[in-house]
Amino acid sequence: MILVIDDKTENLISLKKFLELHKFPVDVASSGEEALKKILRFPYALIILDVQMPGMDGFEVAEAISGYSKTKDIPIIFLSANNTDKDFITKGYDSGGIDYITKPVDADILLLKVKTFYRLYEQTRELTEIQETLKEEIEFRKAAEDKKDEFISIASHELKTPLTSIKGYLQLLERSIENEDHALGKKYLARTQAQVEKLRYLIADLLDISKIEAGKMKFNKKIFDFEQLLDNTIDIIRQTNPEYQILKKRAEPVKAYGDEVRIEQVIINYITNAIKYSPESKEIHIESFTNEGFLHFRVKDFGIGVPKEKQHQLFQKFYRVEDSSTRFQGMGMGLYICAEILNRHHCEFGVESIEGQGSTFFFKLPLTANNY
User: Which positions lie near ligand ADP, rule CB under 6 A?
Assistant: 269, 273-274, 277, 301, 303-306, 314, 319-321, 324, 330-336, 359
* C-alpha distance across the termini of the chain, in Å: 50
Pairwise CA distance, residues 329 & 273, whole Å: 11
In whole angstroms, the minimum distance from the beta carbon of 95 to ligand ADP comes to 52
Minimal CB distance to ligand ADP: which residue? Answer: 330
> Phi and psi of 93, rounded to 5°?
-145, 105
Q: What is the DSSP letter of 311?
A: G
Instruction: Give whichever of 132 and 323 is closer to ligand ADP, judged by the CB atom.
Output: 323
Least Å distance, CB 270 to ligand ADP, is 8
Q: Which residue's CB is nearer to ligand ADP, number 185 or number 305?
A: 305
Residue closer to ligand ADP, measured from CB, 244 or 277: 277
- Specify the 3-state DSSP secondary structure of 314: coil
Q: How far apart are CA 140 and CA 30, in angstroms?
A: 46
CB 301, min distance to ligand ADP, A: 5
**Nearest residue (CB) to ligand ADP, 16 versus 300:** 300
Chain CA centroid to CA 58, Å: 48
Q: How far is the CB of 335 from ligand ADP (least distance, A)?
A: 3
Helices (H), the chain: 9-21, 32-41, 58-67, 85-92, 107-178, 182-213, 226-240, 260-276, 322-325, 334-344
The answer to whether 256 touches 344, Cβ cutoff 8 Å, is no
Q: How far is the CB of 207 from ligand ADP (least distance, A)?
A: 15
CB nearer to ligand ADP: give 103 or 200.
Answer: 200
Residue type, 206: L
User: In the complex with ligand ADP, which residue's Cβ is closer, 31 or 281?
Assistant: 281
| Residue of 91, 22, 85 lying closest to 49 (CA atoms) | 85
- Concatenating the DSSP letter of every residue in 229-277 gives HHHHHHHHHHHH-TTSEEEEEEE---EEEE-HHHHHHHHHHHHHHHHHT
> Residue 357 Cβ, how far from ligand ADP at the closest point, in Å?
10
Q: Which is nearer to ligand ADP, 24 or 151 (CB)?
A: 151
Minimum distance between the CB of residue 174 and ligand ADP, rounded to whole angstroms? 32
Give backbone dihedrals phi and psi of 350, rounded to 5 degrees, phi first.
170, -165
We find the least distance from the C-beta atom of residue 354 to ligand ADP, in angstroms, to be: 11
CA pair distance 72, 65, nearest whole angstrom: 6
Decide whether 58 or 330 has the Cβ nearer to ligand ADP. Answer: 330
CA distance 361 to 351: 4
Min CB(243)–ligand ADP separation in Å: 17
Residue 50 or 301 having the CB closest to ligand ADP: 301
330: left (phi over 0), alpha (psi -120 to 50) or beta: left
**Among residues 309, 316, 293, which one has the least CA distance to residue 355?**
309
- Decide: 226 and 296 in contact? Cβ < 8 Å: no
Candidates 330, 335, 332; CA nearest to 349 is: 335
Smallest distance from ligand ADP to CB 195, Å: 17
* Nearest CB to ligand ADP, comparing residues 5 and 274: 274
